């Protein structure tokens, strides 16, 4: 493992990327996966998230590290419910970006 990966190792981390189907969000998804994290893409456009995952070499090599969940971030009640479900599924150690 090279020096950068040692410094930024995110193994055993669950990270939620809100807006992960967008250009900037998906760039974060790829970087986080490359650093060893399990990534939950939270976006209203799950079809776009699925398309980008299929087109990404990094994601294709790490399909067990990526999950896509639908989320409308304009509704705070949905956000609370979303986090509650993910906490049960992945544990309370989720980080949100």
- In this structure, is residue 4 part of a structural domain? no
- In this structure, is residue 49 part of a structural domain? yes
- In this structure, is residue 6 part of a structural domain? no
Full residue range of the structural domain in which residue 41 is found: 11-96
| Model confidence at 1: pLDDT above 90 | no
Q: Which residues lie closer than 8 Å to 56 by C-beta, 6 or more apart?
A: 26, 30
| pLDDT tens for each residue of 14-38 | 999 999 999 999 999 999 998 899 9
- Rounded to whole angstroms, the Cα distance separating 79 from 85 reads 10
Question: What phi and psi values does residue 78 have, to the nearest 5 degrees?
Answer: -65, -35
- Whole-prediction pTM: 0.86
Report the CATH number at residue 46.
Answer: 3.40.50.720
| pLDDT tens for each residue of 42-86 | 999 999 999 999 999 988 888 899 999 999 989 999 999 998 888
Contact 83, 75 (CB under 8 A): no
> Per DSSP, what are the bridge partners of residue 41?
17, 68
- In this structure, is residue 66 part of a structural domain? yes
Q: How many domains does the chain have?
A: 1
| Model confidence at 96: pLDDT above 90 | no
The three-point CA angle 80-89-50 to 5° equals 85
- In this structure, is residue 65 part of a structural domain? yes
pLDDT at position 94 is 66
Per-residue pLDDT band at 8 (split at 50, 70, 90): confident
- In this structure, is residue 5 part of a structural domain? no
| Model confidence at 9: pLDDT above 60 | yes
| Model confidence at 4: pLDDT above 70 | no
Contact 79, 71 (CB under 8 A): yes
pLDDT at position 2 is 64
- In this structure, is residue 16 part of a structural domain? yes
């Amino acid at each position: 493992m090279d020096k950068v990966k040692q410094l930024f190792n995110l193994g055993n981390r669950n990270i939620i990327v809100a807006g992960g189907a967008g250009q900037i969000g998906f760039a974060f998804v790829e970087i986080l996966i490359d650093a060893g994290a399990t990534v939950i893409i939270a976006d209203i456009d799950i079809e776009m998230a699925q398309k980008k995952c299929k087109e990404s070499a990094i994601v294709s090599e790490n399909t067990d590290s990526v999950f896509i969940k639908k989320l409308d971030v304009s509704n705070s009640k949905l956000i609370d419910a979303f986090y509650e479900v993910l906490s049960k599924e992945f544990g309370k150690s989720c980080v949100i970006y």
